[in-house]
Amino acid sequence: MTTDIEAAEELALRVEEFVRETVVPFEADPRRTAHGPQDALVQELRGLAKAAGVLTPHIHPDGSHFSQVGTARLLIASGLSPLGPLACNTAAPDEGNMFLLGRMATPAQKQRFLEPLVSGRARSAFFMTEPAAQGGAGSDPSMLSTCARRDGNHWVIDGRKAFITGADGAGTGIIMARAEEGATLFLVELPDPVVRIERILDTIDSAMPGGHAVVAIEGLRLDADQILGQPGDGFRLAQVRLAPARLSHCMRWTGLGLRAQEIATAYACRREAFAKTLVDHEGVGFMLAENQIDLRQCRLMIDWCAQALDRGETANVESSMAKVAVSEALFRVADRCVQIMGGTGVTGDTIVEQFFREIRAFRIYDGPTEVHKWSLARKIKRDFAKTSGS
């Protein structure tokens, strides 16, 4: 009998073949913009993925998910191109939103909000972060300022959000707002005229369709059945999404790191300088060796955290550690790849330059490195107090 991981590994080979042979040629497509690939390109790629049998590969036809260890195989394979996760429908924020809705939505909510995502027909956005100028939620979600108030059998939401990935062009939104009972998650069909995009931010990264938006929500009226869970459940439900989504980022970007290493290796093994190939110069060869070590450690950290999630643990500590370790290691890998390739490394002639930009942003996505270290340090202090009796 085929195990979950064996089935995932077999499917991952098909995903990898599809990404390398079909998706990679689209990396030169002019529909890739500074604010992310245009939706026409995304839909074309998803049509090709569906035909190849690799669309939304991490979710079975019955709606169940591969294990997190199995998912890692699939998402790493899809990440071999910056367009791969979009083509295969494994990209953020959709993958994390599908996971949350699959776990916590009612059957009616799944039909209305989840099914278009799983089928690849629509994109989604998670509206939590708020502008710093208004003192809203960022790395500290307890500062949430967007408010939701009851009005009969409806809720009315007002507030502003910032850095909302994919809001421009999204079909489903999950909005976190503060109700009297506490933080609450609301589901909304988009576009909606009162969910207004003020501007798309110019950011260092360019992999996400729709970019990252500042959004004003002005008098958004929703039915009571558009609450995910119960009023006040927002932070608890966000935790359901948080650790797996954090780890999924690590999976996808590790795939791109593997590809960047391949490109840098090919360059170093062919380019000659000072009467020998670059790889034979110790300074270059050692950088490739260090990359190989970092990439192996990334995969080990991912599997370690995935195993904790598969055991049913919240894995908040493991996911924080994995996110810090993987994002920092991949940044070192990206930096070395650029350095090995010299002038070519800082051009758009290969995806190495984009990988460097994306990974610099990933050190901030889903909590900056310093916030995770601070959280881990607090736990170290609490654990010491418990064991020492002080």
Contact 237, 245 (CB under 8 A): no
Can 124-231 and 235-388 be said to share one CATH topology? no
Q: If you classify domain 124-231 with CATH, what class do you get?
A: mainly beta
Using CB atoms within 10 A of its CB, is residue 356 exposed (0-12), middle (13-18) or buried (19+)? buried
Does CATH place domain 235-388 in 1.10.1060.10? no
Cα–Cα nearest to 97, from 188, 199, 222, 195: 188
Does the pLDDT value for residue 1 go beyond 80? no
What pLDDT score was predicted for residue 293? 98
What is the DSSP track for 295-335? Answer: HHHHHHHHHHHHHHHHTT---HHHHHHHHHHHHHHHHHHHH
Strands (E), the chain: 32-33, 36-37, 124-127, 147-151, 154-165, 172-179, 182-189, 195-200, 212-223, 227-228, 272-273, 276-277
Residues 6 or more apart whose Cβ sits within 8 Å of residue 7: 66, 70
Look at residues 365, 264, 381 and name the one whose alpha carbon lies nearest to residue 324.
Answer: 365
Strands 272-273 and 276-277: antiparallel
Distance from chain centroid for Cα 262? 23
Q: How far, in Å, CA of 335 to CA of 355, rounded?
A: 9
User: Over pLDDT 90: what percentage of the chain?
Assistant: 94
Q: Is 274 helix (H, G, I), strand (E, B) or coil?
A: coil
Total Cβ atoms within 10 A of residue 163: 19
Residue 390 in this model has a pLDDT that exceeds 70: no
Bridge partners of 165, per DSSP, are 212
What are the boundaries of each domain within the chain? 4-91, 124-231, 235-388
- Hey, what are 356's tokens? 């460097």
The per-residue pLDDT for range 312-338, each reduced to its tens digit, is: 999 999 999 999 999 999 999 999 999
Structure confidence at residue 95 (pLDDT): 97
What pTM, to 2 d.p., does this model score?
0.96
Specify the pLDDT at position 375: 95
Tokens of 366: 């889903």
| Mean pLDDT within 351-376 | 96
Structure tokens at 364: 């901030």
In whole numbers, what is the pLDDT of the chain averaged over residues?
96
Amino acid (one-letter) located at 186 = F
Instruction: Name the residue with tokens 């019955």.
Output: 62
The token duo for 56 is: 């939304």
Query: 377, 376, 383, 375: which is closest to 141 by C-alpha?
Result: 375
What are the tens digits of pLDDT across the range 81-94?
999 999 999 999 99
In this predicted model, what pLDDT tens digit does every residue of 133-186 receive, in sequence order?
887 878 888 899 999 999 999 999 999 999 999 999 999 999 999 999 999 999
Q: What is the 3-state secondary structure (H, E, C) of 108-120?
A: HHHHHHHHHHHCC
Q: Is 321 helix (H, G, I), strand (E, B) or coil?
A: helix
Nearest to 81 by CA among 13, 21, 16, 24: 24
Query: What integer is the mean pLDDT of 221-230?
Result: 97
